[in-house]
């Protein structure tokens, strides 16, 4: 896990088990977990699984 990834995204990652080596919420987004906000702002964050080739694709959670 890298960055301020919401717990809900981590939980979905553990359930869906995508072919990924990690997950990231890149940069330091305002209102991310640990930076303020709440569940509604956290759900709106762009979260990306990190593929084996370092490719990022948007993760729906």
Residue-level pLDDT, tens digit, the chain, 61 residues: 877 888 888 899 899 998 889 899 887 777 777 777 787 887 778 889 888 888 888 888 7
Q: How far apart are CA 38 and CA 58, in angstroms?
A: 21
Look at residue 15 in the predicted model and tell me its pLDDT. 93
Contact indicator for 32, 25 with CB cutoff of 8 Å: yes
Look at residue 45 in the predicted model and tell me its pLDDT. 82
Which two three-digit tokens encode residue 3?
């960055």
Look at residue 36 in the predicted model and tell me its pLDDT. 79
Sign of torsion over alpha carbons 7, 50, 18, 47 = positive
Look at residue 5 in the predicted model and tell me its pLDDT. 87
């Amino acid at each position: 896990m890298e960055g301020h990834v919401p717990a809900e995204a981590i939980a979905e990652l553990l359930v869906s088990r995508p072919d990924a080596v990690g997950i990231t919420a890149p940069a330091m987004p305002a209102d991310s977990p640990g930076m303020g906000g709440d569940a509604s702002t956290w759900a709106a964050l762009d979260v990306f699984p990190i593929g084996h080739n370092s490719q990022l694709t948007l993760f729906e959670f």
